[in-house]
């Protein structure tokens, strides 16, 4: 997990491929862009823009991915994300390999972070994360999740 600010993507010590992905996303007007999926670089970088109300962590499941890195950027509101180190996902359901996700009921040694607007959190493959959780009570947020193929880091 890496935390940073979108206005200084290179300051967080991000691998260049990930900082580059943030710049690609920022070529769009993220504050006004409609929710949906946008291609950024062929099959290897795309983003999902979302707007929804945060929910109680007890009602949500953690997700883990194997092929893609998540760069979760909060555009508006406040959001809690529970997470764990690689390999910490427990009680997992069947993997959806085609869509590169698996849902899990718990995280061993669970940690929590709070995103403010303008911050991002990067989750590497196999690092479980449960985004979209309330800080105090349910509230509307807008965010973008940039999906970056892990193969880009190997280059």
Contact 143, 6 (CB under 8 A): no
When the beta carbons of 29 and 127 are compared against Cu ion, the nearer one is: 127
Question: What count of Cα atoms within 13 Å lies in the side-chain half-sphere of residue 70?
Answer: 27
Contacting range for Cu ion; rule: CB under 5 A; set: 11-19, 28-36, 61-69, 107-115: 61-69
- Is the CB of 63 or the CB of 79 nearer to Cu ion? 63
CA distances from 127 to 63, 90, 154 (A): 8, 11, 18
Q: Which of 70, 83, 89, 128 binds Cu ion (CB under 5 A)?
A: 70
Q: Which is nearer to Cu ion, 11 or 66 (CB)?
A: 66
Question: Does 63 contact Cu ion by CB under 5 A?
Answer: yes
Q: Burial, 144: exposed, middle or buried (Cβ in 10 Å; 0-12, 13-18, 19+)?
A: buried
Q: x/- site string to Cu ion, residues 86 to 125, per CB under 5 A?
A: ----------------------------------------
As a whole number of angstroms, the distance between CA 10 and CA 130 comes to: 25
Q: How far is the CB of 51 from Cu ion (least distance, A)?
A: 17
User: Binding of Cu ion at residue 127 (CB under 5 A)?
Assistant: no
Classify residue 92 as exposed, middle or buried by CB count within 10 Å of its CB (0-12, 13-18, 19+): middle
Q: Which residue's CB atom is positioned nearest to Cu ion?
A: 70
Chain positions contacting Cu ion, by CB under 5 A: 63, 70
């Amino acid at each position: 997990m890496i935390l940073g600010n979108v206005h200084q993507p290179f300051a967080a010590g991000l691998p260049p491929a990930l900082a580059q992905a943030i710049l690609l996303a920022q070529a769009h007007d993220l504050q006004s862009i409609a929710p949906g999926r946008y291609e950024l670089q062929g099959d290897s970088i795309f983003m999902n823009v979302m707007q929804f109300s945060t929910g109680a962590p007890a009602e949500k499941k953690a997700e883990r991915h194997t092929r893609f890195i998540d760069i979760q950027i909060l555009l508006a509101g406040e959001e809690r994300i529970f997470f764990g180190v690689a390999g910490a996902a427990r009680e997992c359901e069947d993997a959806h390999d085609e869509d590169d996700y698996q849902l899990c009921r718990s995280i061993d040694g669970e940690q929590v972070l709070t995103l403010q607007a303008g911050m991002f959190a990067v989750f590497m493959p196999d690092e479980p994360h449960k985004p979209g959780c309330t800080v105090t009570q349910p509230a509307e947020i807008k965010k973008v999740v940039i999906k970056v193929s892990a193969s880009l880091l190997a280059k």
